[in-house]
A and B are shown apart, each in its own frame.
Chain A
C-alpha cells in the first residue's frame, strides 16, 4: 500500500514570496492533517480535514496560510506571503477516520530567506 506522498521535498524562497505544498493521502483515508514542525520542536497541527470539509483550523495563521481539499482526496497548503518564521518542515498525515492511526508523509522542508 502506498504511503502519504508530498511534494516538493525541499523549497527555498525569499520572504514575501508565495509557496504551495501538495499532499496525496493514503487511498480511502477520509481525514487529512497538515502539521508544521519547526526545527527542534514537535509537530504542530495546523488544519484537519474530514473528506473535503475543515474540522479544525484553529492554529492556522489565516492571514497568510490557506489550505484546501476540494475533492476530498489530495490537498494543497499555501503560504502567501511567507515570513522568515515560516521556515519549517510541513508534514501531511492521513487517517482512515478521525481518531484512527495517523500516517505521516516525509514532509516538505521550507527555507525562507
Chain B
C-alpha cells in the first residue's frame, strides 16, 4: 500500500538546538500535515499544507510542502523540553477526503 517514509526515526538533541525532519513518498499528495503525539494521547495537528511549495510557520515550527508534491519537511527552532514527543507526517492524496496516510513517526528527545 501507499507509504510515507519519515526520517530520522529518532533524534536526541540538546535544548536550544534546531531540529529538522522530513517525509517522502513515491506518490503525489495534495495535502501534507504534521502532527505531534504525546504519550497516552492522540495526535494533535501542528501545521497543515495545501499547496506545492507552500512554506508555513507556527511559532517555532516551520513546514514546507515539496514542489514535487512527494515530500515535506518540518523544522523546529530553538528546541525546548516540551518539544519531546513523536512527530508524524500525514498526507491526503486527493487533498480533501480526510483519508490520511501517516508516516512511521520521528521520536524527539530533548536534553535540558
Contact = CB atoms under 8 A, between A and B. Distances in A.
Nearest to A6: B42
Contacts of B85: none
B44 A102 contact: no
Contact of A48 (B31, B44, B99): B99
Interface residue range, chain B: 20 to 34
Interface of A: 4, 31, 33, 40-45, 48, 55-56, 91, 93, 95, 98-102, 104-107
B42 A104 contact: yes
Contacts, number: 57
Contact of A42 (B45, B88, B96): B88
B45 A99 contact: no
21 contacts: A31-B98, A33-B98, A41-B105, A42-B102, A42-B104, A42-B105, A43-B100, A43-B102, A44-B102, A45-B100, A48-B99, A93-B42, A98-B96, A98-B97, A98-B98, A99-B98, A101-B45, A102-B100, A104-B42, A106-B42, A107-B42
B92 interface: yes
Main secondary structure of the interface of A (DSSP, over half): loop
A104 B96 contact: no
A66 B95 CA distance: 27
B102 to A, nearest CB: 3
Given A42-B104, A42-B105, A99 B40 contact: no
A62 B105 CA distance: 27
B6 to A, nearest CB: 8
Interface in B70-112: 88, 90, 92, 95-105
